[in-house]
Amino acid sequence: MKLKNLILKNSLLVVMLMLLACGQKEELPWDNGKLQVDATQCYLQHENGKPFFWLGETGWLLPERLNRNEAEFYLENCRQAGYNVVQVQTINGVPAVNAYGQRSMIDGFDFSKINQEGVYGYWDHMDYIIETAESKGIYIGMVCIWGGLVKKGLMDEEQARAYGTFLAERYKDKPNIIWFIGGDIHGDVKPEVWHALAESIKAVDKNHLMTFHPFGRTLSAIWMNNAEWLDFNMFQSGHRRYEQSEPGKEFLPDSTEEDNWRYVEISKTYEPLKPVIDGEPSYEGIPQGLHNPEEPLWQAKDVRRYAYWSVFAGSFGHTYGNNSIMQMHKGGQRPGAYGATMHWVEALKDGGFNQMKHLKNLILSFPFFERIPDQSVIAGENGVRYERLSATRGDDYLLVYNYTSRPMEIDLSKISGAKKVVWWMDPVNGDLSYLGEFENGIQQFNSPKAHAEGNDMVLIAVDAAKKYIDKSWTVLPELK
């Protein structure tokens, strides 16, 4: 009888806890207010001051190629993997056609006839995607129209104003919109069209941030930094490896190639200063150099390197990409663009896709707005290319990314505290390994991994008086 009563009491307790959990509404990002640029002009925050670390995923052809069930499945997988932004091509044709055979334009750039009674139209499906993402705490980065379409003359200045007004009126009250002007294009190609599109959106929509998505190996600041509508800069570090640059076509000094951290440093030289992000680095599973499927494919280790190099150099977040996912390739005998063969659902299991969240958790574990890049943390001569160490710090913590796990000397005096507590973090799985307490000054650290490309690790050093990380933790907690 006592056992029966105990089981009954425990069952009632479980039911009460379940009811309590159901009654608690999960906080969504915009519950903290809309996004805005912070006081340092380097990061994004919500209106209430809560930091926003952008972890983006490139779902470019989501609106055109996935149906409702597929879209919900994809967005849920993004949520579980820690992504809070999904970047899409709002239209990739004039008109674009979606999975239901519906066109984005029925009567050119006159959108007055798109709401046909009894028809689940193109923009109804876009509404569904945005609202589903909203329910999962995900922003939709809307590339309004792909740049190549404008380059071909398929949208002029007047049409851009009509289209921008339509988009702004339809989505100005959605909490999870971020506007992308451009779309894989140089900012000096049809600039009057891009300005008309941006200005028409901003004239109606005062709630959402806006950027410009530029061509590969270029930075939006080159053309748009002084535009009043540009809230933050974006660069596309692109898909080329070292020695694959095109002579005479470099738009930045020193032929950046894989060194995407250079774009961040260069963006900091523009005035006014604006936050910056790598909105399209090398994709997991795409050929090195992009166009030749016979070339080696970029792997998880490469996309991790791009992410940590960019963020530690001062980016306010990072965007991941995957060859099969970005085009929602559905397999079969016919390869997709850029040699893609894997089904997009299978690609959701790729290592890089599931490893980006560890970077977000790491950055959000420490004071956010005081963080700066600081290569003086590296004692002695730094390496080049893959051997380069990348360092960032706050007042009382420092982080060093080591792509090859080479021995390194770190100056612990660059942060406060007479003694420092130190960990290794594995970017592959987020595992923490506590090293102990160290005296101030220059200390040598040897990674637990062998010295080789892709054996990356992050060194974490914290003022021993601070409690950002518990010594008993084996992994950082997931943070939003």
Task: State the Cα–Cα distance between residues 133 and 126, nearest whole angstrom.
Answer: 11
Task: Please indicate, yes or no, whether the overall pTM of this predicted structure exceeds 0.75.
Answer: yes
| 419 is a domain residue | yes
| 3 is a domain residue | no
| 131 is a domain residue | yes
| 15 is a domain residue | no
Q: Which two tokens stand for residue 220?
A: 């939006």
pLDDT of residue 303: 97
Count of domains forming the chain: 2
Query: In terms of C-beta density within 10 A (0-12 exposed, 13-18 middle, 19 or more buried), how is residue 445 classed?
Result: middle
Q: Cβ distance 32 to 46 under 8 Å?
A: yes
C-alpha neighbours within 13 Å on the C-beta side of residue 151: 13
Residues of the chain with pLDDT under 50: 1-22, 254
The residues near 262 (Cβ < 8 Å, ≥ 6 apart) are: 252, 253, 254, 256
pLDDT of residue 172: 97
Which residues form the domain of 420? 372-463
| Residue that finishes a domain, picked among 341, 364, 387 | 364
Task: State the Cα–Cα distance between residues 134 and 153, nearest whole angstrom.
Answer: 34
CATH number for the domain spanning 452: value is 2.60.40
CATH number for the domain spanning 351: value is 3.20.20.80
Q: Are residues 285 and 434 in the same domain?
A: no
The residue type found at 360 is K
Q: Cβ distance 470 to 432 under 8 Å?
A: no
Q: Are residues 202 and 303 in the same domain?
A: yes
Q: Are residues 308 and 401 in the same domain?
A: no
b/e per residue 92-111 (b: at least 16 CB within 10 A): bebebebbeebebbbeeeeb
Q: Rounded to 10 degrees, what is the CA torsion of 361, 367, 369, 373? A: -80
Q: Are residues 382 and 348 in the same domain?
A: no
| Residue that finishes a domain, picked among 337, 364, 391 | 364
Q: Are residues 304 and 381 in the same domain?
A: no
SS3 label, residue 56: strand
Q: Which of 149, 158, 155, 142 lies closest to 92, judged by CA?
A: 149
DSSP 344-410: HHHHTT-HHHHHHHHHHHHHHTS-STT-EE-GGGB-S----GGG-EEEEE-SSEEEEEESS---EEE
Query: Cα–Cα–Cα angle for 441, 443, 447, nearest 5°?
Result: 150
pLDDT of residue 105: 94
Q: Are residues 224 and 295 in the same domain?
A: yes
| 25 is a domain residue | no
Task: State the Cα–Cα distance between residues 418 and 125, nearest whole angstrom.
Answer: 58
pLDDT of residue 248: 59
Q: Are residues 91 and 168 in the same domain?
A: yes
| 468 is a domain residue | no
| 21 is a domain residue | no
Q: Are residues 351 and 385 in the same domain?
A: no
Q: Hey, how many other C-beta atoms are within 10 angstroms of the C-beta on 410?
A: 25
pLDDT of residue 118: 85
Q: Hey, how many other C-beta atoms are within 10 angstroms of the C-beta on 290?
A: 20
Q: Are residues 73 and 207 in the same domain?
A: yes
The residues near 430 (Cβ < 8 Å, ≥ 6 apart) are: 357, 358, 361, 475, 476
Say how far residue 9 (Cα) sits from the centre of its chain. 47
Q: Are residues 351 and 439 in the same domain?
A: no
SS3 label, residue 299: coil
Q: Are residues 239 and 205 in the same domain?
A: yes
Q: Which of 95, 181, 98, 175 lies closest to 130, judged by CA?
A: 175
- Sign for the CA dihedral angle at 429, 350, 275, 457 comes to positive
| 477 is a domain residue | no
Q: Are residues 239 and 175 in the same domain?
A: yes
| Residue that finishes a domain, picked among 364, 398, 432 | 364
pLDDT of residue 451: 97
- Sign for the CA dihedral angle at 404, 409, 411, 412 comes to positive
